[in-house]
Chain A
Amino acid sequence: MSSIEVAGKSLETDEEGYLLNLAEWTEDAAKVLAAAENVNMTEAHWEVINFLREYYDEYQIAPAVRVLTKAIGKKLGPEKGNSKYLYELFPYGPAKQACKIAGLPKPTGCV
């Protein structure tokens, strides 16, 4: 079993680095997860992370990238609801990488 260290606490992850227990997620955990992905968290990153957590809370799934892009566009505006913007923030895939930082499971259908 893998794990990450956050503020002196050990949080379990799966072999790909996704948190096993969603409830253990904190903003500090997000920073540790982001650092492991070489993502430097800015306001724009947090906006997407918070959006994903709200989406999960409501629907109990991490959305596929197409759905995420559309939903972000609707909520945060068309200049953010496109893959170019999201890939600039999360170069290894907005769904995969942002979900990991948000402490969510890997998106359904994401290989």
Chain B
Amino acid sequence: MATKKMLYLNRRAPYGSVYALESLEVVLIGAAFEQDVSLAFIDDGVFQLLKGQNTTAVGMKNFSPTYKALGDYDVRKIYVEKESLEARGLSREDLLDLTYEDENEGYAEKDSIQVVSRTDMAGIIEQNDVVFSF
């Protein structure tokens, strides 16, 4: 089976609906089958990657630590839209530190998150064969 470029587009807040968690689970399953996977976070989806989440009051499991496992699953391309961050008063520093190890450079830890403009995001979506929208 030829490898397809798959993009998972996340636009909803992490809690209040099951979309964010379902998306993450599908990503982990897809990555286990060694597909070429990218993630994009737009609109309220950027809240999924916030540092310091505490879900005690909403009674849902805080699954944000699982994003840190994405590097182990060779998911290395995580795009966050700059305009969506800015509209919510957020910046890169408010997001989780997500890294992967580059086997071609002595397993150096590298940043998986790239903050990109809306225009660049449109280009990224265009380059993928399959887009899953959550």
Q: Footprint of B on A, CB under 8 Å?
A: 58-61, 63-64, 66-67, 70-71, 108-109
Contact = CB atoms under 8 A, between A and B. Distances in A.
Given A71-B72, A108-B25, A66 B32 contact: yes
Interface of B: prevailing SS: helix
B68 A109 contact: no
B66 A59 contact: yes
A109 B25 CA distance: 8
A109 B65 contact: no
B28 interface: yes
Contact of A70 (B61, B65, B72): B72
A61 B29 CA distance: 12
B55 to A, nearest CB: 11
Interface residues of B, number: 13
A71 B61 CA distance: 24
Contacts of B29: 108-109
A109 B62 CA distance: 20
B69 interface: yes
Contact of A64 (B32, B62, B63, B65): B32
B15 interface: no
A71 B107 CA distance: 13
22 contacts: A58-B68, A59-B66, A59-B68, A59-B69, A60-B61, A60-B62, A60-B63, A60-B66, A61-B28, A63-B69, A64-B28, A64-B32, A64-B73, A66-B32, A67-B69, A67-B73, A71-B72, A108-B25, A108-B29, A109-B28, A109-B29, A109-B32
A59 B65 contact: yes
A63 B65 CA distance: 13
Interface of B: 25, 28-29, 32, 61-63, 65-66, 68-69, 72-73
A108 B28 CA distance: 7
Nearest to B70: A59
Contacts of A58: 65, 68
Given A58-B65, A61-B28, A66-B32, 15 more contacts: A59-B65, A59-B68, A59-B69, A60-B62, A60-B63, A60-B65, A64-B28, A64-B73, A67-B32, A70-B72, A71-B72, A108-B25, A109-B25, A109-B28, A109-B32
Nearest to B30: A109
